[in-house]
Chain A
Amino acid sequence: MLQSAKLKYIFPIVLLIAFFLDGSLNQIFSSTLFQYPYSMICNLTLMWFVMAIFFEGESQINFTLWSFVIGIIFDWYYTGVFGVDTFIIPIVVMFIRGIRPFVKTTFLIVLGMDMFAMAMYNILFFIVFQMIKMANVTTTFFIGYSFLPTIILNLSIFVILYYPIKTVFRRTRGTNSRSFM
């Protein structure tokens, strides 16, 4: 059981790195990502959550707490509007955790779950920003402009990073969970 503790430390560290990488990558590739008529947003944080939920084994990570923490930092550092991601990220994370016991852990299903999480996150985010009059676009425009491009970008990143990340989890989640895969 001693080994399973490793993931407990690795998870938050990578989570924070992924979080800050999101902002930096968006900045560095801004001329490609935000070229009209598309607006793609790199969201490694949510992907890390989805992967961790599926591959945690028995590491007992407190996902609800971490999603809250990341949500608050997101609002604090990136948008300046508190109370948006603070609740949206935990909702998405809790939802994925709720579904988890009912599905198998195969590549396609984790991919589907990642897509589902991205979709849910983006839709909720859009609804809130539309309500506080900061988005100012129609739903059709939202789907073509931001929703689909964002999901496509994140799924491509997911496909590239799936096996490397899976290996990291299998090596760090502890001895007791070998039976999972």
Chain B
Amino acid sequence: MHKFFSNRKLVITVICAIIAVGLIAGSLTLKKKDKTPVIQKVGNDVFGTVSRVIALPIHGVQTMTTDINNFVSTYEENARLRKGIEKNDSINAENKSLKAENKELKKLVGLKETMSDYSLTAATVLTRSPSSWQDLITVNKGTANGIKKNQPVLAGNGLVGRVVEADYTVSKVELISDNNESANRFAIQVQATDGEYINGIITGYDKKTNQIIMGQITDKKTVKVGTPVTTSGLGGVTPKGLYVGKVAKISKDDYGLASEIRIEPAAKLSNVNNVYIAKLD
């Protein structure tokens, strides 16, 4: 062991330690900035391409198994869904006319673009970080497709996370289930029983019960279990009206001061395969 602490090796060890600390500190600061450095982008695109090629056969097998599984359950589902389809059609038609009316009214008032005007970009998930401490996924769309840092990401019909790093052809998405302290939080709102909206933000995620925690709530009003929760558009980055989930439980927070709302997420966070990235128009 005494050989290890010979002068040269000790110096190298110390230098490596210093470099490591510097790099970690540097990358943590870079994460908070709006844009990803060019070198990091280029590297990620190269790795993303290789990763895509390697993942191709595996994704093929996966699609095949899901296809087979889907095929089995299709018959049952078809019978069940057929009942609801007519009702859906009428809602759809109503929605369309309401949208058109909304547009006209907005034009009339002179409003240009509001927080509820957004478009979706579809993307496929390539990899998930092999780390227990970060719920990071890499998707196959990047700045070339108009993706920017901090844009919200949806899967199925609910919010799942936000873009934390946008490269040219791939980008990294941090899921809501990631509990690190530096994670950005979403501004969300829920309708109280008296019809008014209560604002708050997503303050955490409970992995045990698979529930989103809504904290920093502005008003003390009663909320019904089962009320839908959407993004509020406050802050100016996230569009308004993205579906988050349903209220599952209302309780006091750890200190008993403010109330805390538990939300059953609409999307399944442990298994995210196809996502939509929302951008404001």
Contacts and interface: CB of A to CB of B under 8 A. Distances in A.
B255 interface: no
B164 A24 contact: no
B44 A132 contact: no
A83 interface: yes
A17 B31 CA distance: 28
A132 to B, nearest CB: 6
A87 B19 CA distance: 10
Given A30-B270, A76-B43, A23 B24 contact: no
A23 B131 contact: no
A28 B62 contact: yes
Nearest to B273: A27
Interface string B119-143: 0000001111111111111100000
B223 to A, nearest CB: 26
Contact of A20 (B127, B131, B210): B127
Interface string B56-79: 001100100000000000000000
B20 A23 contact: no
Interface stretch (B98-106, B175-183, B245-253): B175-183
Interface in A104-159: 125-126, 128-129, 132-136, 145-146, 150
A26 B133 contact: no
A73 interface: yes
B131 A79 contact: yes
A84 B130 CA distance: 13
A39 B134 CA distance: 11
B24 A128 contact: yes
A60 to B, nearest CB: 22
B32 to A, nearest CB: 12
A53 B26 CA distance: 33
Contacts of B164: 80
Q: What class of interface size applies to chain B in its complex with A?
A: 35 or more
Contact of B26 (A37, A43, A82, A136): A82
B24 A82 contact: yes
Interface in A5-46: 16-17, 20-28, 30-31, 34-37, 39, 41-43
Interface in B3-55: 16, 19-24, 26-28, 31, 40, 43-44, 47-48, 50-51, 54-55
B165 interface: yes
B47 A79 contact: no
B271 interface: yes
B129 A79 contact: yes
A81 interface: yes
A102 interface: no
A28 B58 contact: yes
Contacts of A4: none
B126 to A, nearest CB: 7
Given A27-B137, A36-B208, A80-B31, A134 B24 contact: no
Contact of A23 (B40, B128, B135): B128
B207 interface: yes
Interface in B213-259: none
A180 to B, nearest CB: 26
B272 interface: yes
Contacts of A17: 54
A133 B182 contact: yes
B272 A30 contact: yes
A37 B127 CA distance: 22
A136 B271 CA distance: 23
Given A23-B128, A41-B130, A78-B129, A87 B270 contact: no
Contacts of A26: 127-130
The 9 closest A-B pairs by CB, nearest first: A83-B23, A23-B127, A31-B271, A146-B132, A27-B128, A24-B55, A82-B23, A77-B47, A39-B132
Interface of A: 16-17, 20-28, 30-31, 34-37, 39, 41-43, 73, 75-84, 86-87, 125-126, 128-129, 132-136, 145-146, 150
Interface of B: 16, 19-24, 26-28, 31, 40, 43-44, 47-48, 50-51, 54-55, 58-59, 62, 125-138, 164-165, 172, 179-182, 207-208, 210, 268, 270-273
